[in-house]
């Protein structure tokens, strides 16, 4: 049986606390925790973790950090010895992981996707940037917290992947608000529409359903994906055209739909 990996966790908030609880429940992980709030620390201690009085007192191999912003990440990192693997789960600015690495830290930028529910279930997607040796040290801890752990590349790659992922997320949220205005003006039940959206996205995969190619270059006519995505574009352009016409009839502003209509086919590589 392999020796336990000593893991520290700093930042026991809405997502950090359930992430740390997954580590506390994992075999072969010796968990140490620190937070400025005493309540989540007490909960983690009850779950089997050891409390540290400060970040500097975390006697561990790996320090996982899930705090609010870049400044808090820097403040925690200042107290982490350079021989430890510093795993930054917070979503930070694209240049921050490289800045920490330049300061001498063994950094893995490892932002997560899946929210508090994914953290509680251990089903987070964790996107990791950093050196292979540091990733190997932290891997058992990462896999205890996430069911999809992707080594995206060198330092900074995890953060860049998270930002690309969340661009989809929040542009889609904005599109949802546009669709809600259209549906409301058309006299529809918005709650029922939301149920339909969640139901069908669970079947089709939502926006990720088209993300199977390894390039955004134009698609050759004899490529398998040309036929598939041509069909997607034809359906999309037809339905966007109808939706925009309905919006014009009802006097609803749908700028994202108007932007999407001429861009869809080109964006798909056609």
Residue 174, exposed/middle/buried by CB under 10 A (0-12, 13-18, 19+)?
Answer: exposed
- Which of the residues 148, 162, 238, 266 is marked catalytic? 162
Give the model confidence (pLDDT) of 44-58 as tens digits.
999 999 999 999 999
Boundaries of every domain in the chain: 5-161, 180-267
Question: Whole-prediction pTM value?
Answer: 0.93
Give the model confidence (pLDDT) of 58-101 as tens digits.
999 999 999 999 999 999 999 999 999 999 999 999 999 999 99
Q: Is 263 strand, coil or helix?
A: helix
Please identify, in words, the CATH class of the domain defined by 180-267. Answer: mainly alpha
Give the model confidence (pLDDT) of 225-270 as tens digits.
999 999 999 999 999 999 999 999 999 999 999 999 999 999 999 9
pLDDT tier for residue 114 given thresholds of 50, 70 and 90: very high
Give the model confidence (pLDDT) of 121-159 as tens digits.
999 999 999 999 999 999 999 999 999 999 999 999 999
Identical fold between 5-161 and 180-267: no
Q: Is 33 strand, coil or helix?
A: strand
Mean pLDDT, the chain, integer: 97
The CATH code for residues 5-161 is 3.40.50.720
- The pLDDT, as a whole number, for residue 2 is 60
Listed residue (73, 57, 42, 46) closest to 8, CA to CA:
57
Length of the chain, please? 270
Element of type H or E holding 106: strand 106-109
Residue 1 has pLDDT above 60, yes or no: no
Distance from CA of residue 28 to its chain's centroid? 26
3-state SS, 158-212, equals HHHHHHHHHHHHHHHHHHHHHHHHHHHHCCCCHHHHHHHHHHHHHHHCHHHHHCC
Residue 50, exposed/middle/buried by CB under 10 A (0-12, 13-18, 19+)?
Answer: middle
Annotation says 162 is catalytic: yes
Residue 9 has pLDDT above 70, yes or no: yes
């Amino acid at each position: 049986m392999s020796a336990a990996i000593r893991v520290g966790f700093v930042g026991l908030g809405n997502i950090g606390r359930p992430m740390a609880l997954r580590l506390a429940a994992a075999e072969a992980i010796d968990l140490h925790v620190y937070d400025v709030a005493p309540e989540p620390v007490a909960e983690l201690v009850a779950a089997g973790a050891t409390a540290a009085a400060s970040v500097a007192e975390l006697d561990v191999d790996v320090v996982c950090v899930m705090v609010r912003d870049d400044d808090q990440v820097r403040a925690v990192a200042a107290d982490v010895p350079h021989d430890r693997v510093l795993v930054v789960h917070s979503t930070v600015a694209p240049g921050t992981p490289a800045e920490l690495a330049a300061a001498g830290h063994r950094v893995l930028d490892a932002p997560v996707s899946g929210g508090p529910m994914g953290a509680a279930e251990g089903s987070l997607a964790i996107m990791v940037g950093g050196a292979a040796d540091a990733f190997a040290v932290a891997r058992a801890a990462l896999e205890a917290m996430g069911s999809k752990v992707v080594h995206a590349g060198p330092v900074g790659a995890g953060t860049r992947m998270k930002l690309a992922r969340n661009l989809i997320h929040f542009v889609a949220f904005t599109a949802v608000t546009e669709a809600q205005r259209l549906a409301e003006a058309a006299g529809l039940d918005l709650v029922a529409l939301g149920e339909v959206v969640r139901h069908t996205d669970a079947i089709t995969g939502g926006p990720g359903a088209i993300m199977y190619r390894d390039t955004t270059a134009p698609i050759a006519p004899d490529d398998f994906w040309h036929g598939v995505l041509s069909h997607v574009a034809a359906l999309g352009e037809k339905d966007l055209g109808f939706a925009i016409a309905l919006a014009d009839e009802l006097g609803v502003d749908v700028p994202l739909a108007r932007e999407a209509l001429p861009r869809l086919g080109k964006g798909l590589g056609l």
